[in-house]
Chains A and B, each alone.
Chain A
Amino acid sequence: EAQVTQNPRYLITVTGKKLTVTCSQNMNHEYMSWYRQDPGLGLRQIYYSMNVEVTDKGDVPEGYKVSRKEKRNFPLILESPSPNQTSLYFCASRELTGKTQYFGPGTRLTVL
């Protein structure tokens, strides 16, 4: 089944404790992206990657890092999480020449 998976689905952590949210897709998509969803703000793009070793900032990249060492994986790294990064995070992927993104199920992160 074609899908985008994220782990963990739920995470509660404390300020400053480094964490990684994994994202994996099995559709051989070149493009992958991370978004956060907050009430009243919709989805905002954090980072995107057009292929292995190619990453670019989205609208709200501050406080986040990403890496793209393999085509199927695009982890989101929070080196020193803060409470304002409490949010619902979505990973997405698509073919490079397409416009339709396929989203993962989301990761709900709470930073205390």
Chain B
Amino acid sequence: DQQVKQNSPSLSVQEGRISILNCDYTNSMFDYFLWYKKYPAEGPTFLISISSIKDKNEDGRFTVFLNKSAKHLSLHIVPSQPGDSAVYFCAASSTGNQFYFGTGTSLTVIP
């Protein structure tokens, strides 16, 4: 059973607007969450992470929000740029050794 879920397979956003990508998890033992970005024919690259002791982490245009009670995290990209068009995966871990990934959301930023 999928422990990390990304229910939106795709998302389209106008350049300059906010992109919001969502991720839900079922395992309450997860204590570290990451977002990866993937371009075609390349491996995923790390984007931003958050520990369960925080509810927000910001890095430039990227902000991750964690709602532990709802077992939900989201990635906000503001402002969105055409180069942000990629597949975004969220991932979670409790041990730091085993990682569980979502199914990915394909973001298209329209110029």
Residues of A whose CB lies within 8 Å of any CB of B are 4, 31, 33, 35, 40-45, 48, 50, 56, 58-59, 90, 92, 99-106
Least CB distance, A36 to chain B, in whole angstroms: 11
| B77 part of interface (Cβ distance < 8 Å) | no
In the complex the two chains form, is B49's CB within 8 Å of A42's CB? no
Report the interface size class on chain B. 20 to 34
Contact of A99 among B6, B34, B101 (CB under 8 A): B34
Is B43's CB under 8 angstroms from A103's CB?
Answer: yes
Residues in A neighbouring B46, C-beta threshold 8 A: 100-102
Residues on B with beta carbons closer than 8 Å to the beta carbon of A58: 98
Can you list 9 A-B contacts with CB-CB less than 8 angstroms, sorted by A residue number?
A35-B101, A43-B44, A58-B98, A59-B98, A99-B34, A100-B49, A102-B46, A103-B45, A104-B43
For the complex, give the distance between the alpha carbons of A76 and B56 in Å: 37
Query: Contact at A90–B44, with CB atoms within 8 Å?
Result: yes
Please, which residue of chain B has its CB at the minimum distance from the CB of A9?
A: B41
- Min CB gap B5→A, angstroms: 9
B25 within 8 A of A: no
Check B97 against A50 for contact (C-beta < 8 Å).
Answer: yes
- Residues 1-27 of chain B, each 1 if its beta carbon lies under 8 Å from chain A, else 0: 010101000000000000000000000
With A42-B101, A42-B104, A58-B98 as known contacts, state yes or no: A105 contacts B89, CB within 8 Å: no
Chain A residues positioned under 8 Å from B42 (CB to CB):
105-106
Cα of A55 to Cα of B44 in the assembled complex, Å: 23
Determine which of B34, B89, B98 lies in contact with A42 in the assembled complex, contact meaning CB atoms within 8 Å: B89
Q: Which residues in A have their C-beta under 8 angstroms from that of B2? A: 41-42
Q: Which residues of A contact B4 (CB under 8 A)?
A: 42
Check B102 against A42 for contact (C-beta < 8 Å): yes
Q: How far is the CB of A24 from chain B (nearest CB, A)?
A: 14
Task: Please name all residues of chain B whose beta carbon is closer than 8 Å to the beta carbon of A31 when the two chains form the complex.
Answer: 97
For A33, A40, A42, A58, the residue with the greatest tally of chain B CB atoms inside 10 Å of its CB is A42
Do A105 and B97 contact each other (CB < 8 Å), given the known contacts A42-B102, A99-B49?
no
Q: Within the assembled complex, what's the spacing in Å between the Cα atoms of A45 and B36?
A: 15
In the complex, whether B65 has a CB less than 8 A from a CB of chain A is no
